[in-house]
Amino acid sequence: MKKLMLTCGIDSDETGPRRDLFEFTESTFKPYAKKHGYDYKAAWFDDFDASRWPELFFGRTPLWRGHGNRTSPCWLKIPAISEALESYDFVLYLDHDCVVLDDSEDAEEALPSCKSLGMLDSFIGGPCVGFVLVRSTPLMKQFWDLAWKIDAWKTATWTDNGQILALLGFTTTAPAIFLGPTSFSHAFERLPEPWGGVGAPYGGKPFDCARIYHAAYHSSPEWKLSVLKGAYDLWQAKRA
C-alpha cells in the first residue's frame, strides 16, 4: 500500500513567524511519516497547474493577506488531496498548524476498513478539513473533485471547509448543523478519541490527551507556535 502524509507548505523564501511555525510542525511530521511508512509532501502553489484548478491563484476568498488578490493558501489542501489520490492508496492530510504529539500509532488504523473518509469534529460544529484521512476509491476521487467545483464557499463561514460540510450534508454557516445524509455520508467516519481529542476546539479535550493537536482557532502564527510548542513539551515531559 502506498501512503502519503501531506501538508501545505510555504514560500521557499518566506521568513518570520510562519516559517518558524512550519519548520517546527514539519519537524514532527517527517519522523511520523518515516516511522509509519508514508511518503511526505508539503504542497505549494508551484506544484499545481492553474488550468486544472481554476481560481487557485486568483478568484476565491479568503484572500491571502499581504498578497493582493491572491487566493489564500487554505485552498491548496483540496487540489493537493485530490491529486494525491491519483497516486496513493491512502492519504493523511494535516494543516501545518498541527503537531504530532504521540507517534506510537498509525492514523490509518483510526479509519474503519468499511469507511474511506475520516475527519475530526471541531468547534465549527462539524468535520474540520485540517486533519483528514482518506482512502483512494472512485467515490473519494469524485468527492474531492466536487469539493473544488461546487460553490458553497461563496456563502460559507469557513470557505474551503464549507465545501466539505456541504458535501457531507451540513450547513455551511455557524454553527454547522447536520441536515441529512448525502451520497457521501455512508463513507464518512468521525474520528474517535484520542484522535478526536485534540484541544478545546475539538470536544473540549486538553491537548495533553491527543495524538495530534491542531491549533486551528487563532490566526496568529506566533500564538500558534507558542501553543504547539507548549503542547509538545508537555507531552515529552509526560513520556520521560
Q: What is the pLDDT of residue 194?
A: 66
Q: What is the pLDDT of residue 93?
A: 97
* 3-class DSSP string for the chain: CCEEEEEECCCCCCCCHHHHHHHHHHHHHHHHHHHCCEEEEEECHHHCCCCCCCCCCECCCCECCCCCCEECHHHHHHHHHHHHCCCCCEEEEECCCEEECCCCCCHHHHCCCCCCEEEEECCCCCEEEEEEEEECCHHHHHHHHHHHHCCHHHCCCCCHHHHHHHHCCECCCCCCCECCCCCCHHHEEECCCCCCCCECCCCCECHHHCCEEECCCCCCHHHHHHHHHHHHHHHHHHHC
Residue 179 structural domain: 3-239
Q: What is the pLDDT of residue 206?
A: 63
CATH of the domain at 186: 3.90.550.10
Q: What is the pLDDT of residue 196?
A: 54
Residue ranges of the chain with pLDDT lower than 70? 123, 193-208
The number of domains in the chain is: 1
